[in-house]
Amino acid sequence: MTVLEHKAPAPPDQIMLVQSAPRAYQILKAAMELGVFETMEKAPKSSNSIAKDLKLDKRGTECLLNALVGLNFIARKDKMFELIEVSRTYLLQSSDLYMGLYLKHAEQLDKGWSQLGDAVRSGKPVQEVNTQKTAEEFFPALAEGIFPMSYAIAQMVARDLSDVNHGKARILDVAAGSGVWSIPFAEANKSATVDALDFPAVLEVTKKITAKRGLADRYNFLSGDWRHIKWKPSEYNIIVLGHILHSEGKEESKKLLKQCAESLQPDGVVVVAEFLCDEQRSGPAAALIFELNMFLHTTEGCVFAVDELKNMLHEAGFKHVDYSANIADQPVLIGSK
């Protein structure tokens, strides 16, 4: 018997939503490649004017603009199209938070995703990106590209921790990447200094971005793997773990958290930003999708449940665990001794 012989089925909305997602990305990608957003930077424009400025087909331009309106990247008033806050902040090449670099890098990751079925059969990653050799090839471009994704949240966390980040605060940024998780702390406290720890090639990105933001004189750069660098006890007021635990796996993460506890001053805090799921591992979808990303690109990488990570922090020596700003309804955890 078929389904139709039993009852009328619900529409396949979720399937169609997932199926259409790559098309939405192609719409955004085409608009960025064509320079559509830049044409509206100074003032709203009509579709005919945009087509003329960019030497594009009129009908195709109008279809593309209508789709961008539907996807909430631009707005339309009468026959004029204009930028909204999200496009002005993240989709203009002139913006400090331009996401074009990240979207370009994401295409490289998608090549691994096309092999997901094979990886599930074999249990082996398609590429292991968290060893030093591959990390120095993979992470420099990614680190710079993902800066816009975390900067606003990191600013909120820095504001929440103003009572710790004052005076000559000492900050350690582990697996610093672009420095995005520590830069807001340095910007909020002109007397703070930061030790940025990462692999040599990745630190070149950290140096580039901190110099661009006028912070180079307050950053020190520690080159290497966190496991092989000597950490001083009771050295730091703040230690930042911005999206590193998921690539380390559970057992190595426990060691890293314990090392953080030992290297913090008695009133110090650790900042932990991660993709977190619920206890049943049933949501949110973004975290569970990211867990598959870890499966594809590491041997031990994982996603933690909120309570699981809280317990790990307690076991490492943090008596109190609080919440700071949310990333898509997922909290940044703050551990204090």
Q: Is residue 2 part of a domain?
A: no
What's the number of domains the chain is made of? 2
Q: Is residue 3 part of a domain?
A: no
Do both 197 and 293 map to the same domain?
A: yes
Q: Is residue 195 part of a domain?
A: yes
H or E segment at 223? strand 219-223
H or E segment at 174? strand 170-174
Residue 158 identity (one-letter amino acid) = A
Per-residue pLDDT of the chain (337 residues; tens, 9 = 90+): 455 566 677 788 888 888 888 899 999 999 999 999 999 999 999 999 999 999 999 999 999 999 999 999 999 999 999 999 999 999 999 998 999 888 877 777 777 888 999 999 999 988 776 655 565 666 666 777 888 889 999 999 999 999 999 999 999 999 999 999 999 999 999 999 999 999 998 999 999 999 999 999 999 999 999 999 989 999 999 999 999 999 999 999 999 999 999 999 999 999 999 999 999 999 999 999 999 999 998 889 999 999 999 999 999 999 999 998 766 667 899 999 9
- Domain range holding 31? 9-93
Do both 196 and 310 map to the same domain?
A: yes
Do both 58 and 139 map to the same domain?
A: no
Whole-prediction pTM: 0.86
Do both 196 and 312 map to the same domain?
A: yes
User: Which of 41, 70, 93 is a domain's end point?
Assistant: 93
User: Which of 59, 93, 127 is a domain's end point?
Assistant: 93
Do both 147 and 268 map to the same domain?
A: yes
| CATH number of 42's domain | 1.10.10.10
**Where does 35-182 have alpha helices with state H?**
36-39, 47-54, 58-70, 85-90, 100-113, 116-122, 132-145, 147-160
Do both 214 and 290 map to the same domain?
A: yes
Q: Is residue 238 part of a domain?
A: yes
Do both 43 and 181 map to the same domain?
A: no
Residue 274 identity (one-letter amino acid) = E
Do both 144 and 20 map to the same domain?
A: no
Do both 159 and 288 map to the same domain?
A: yes
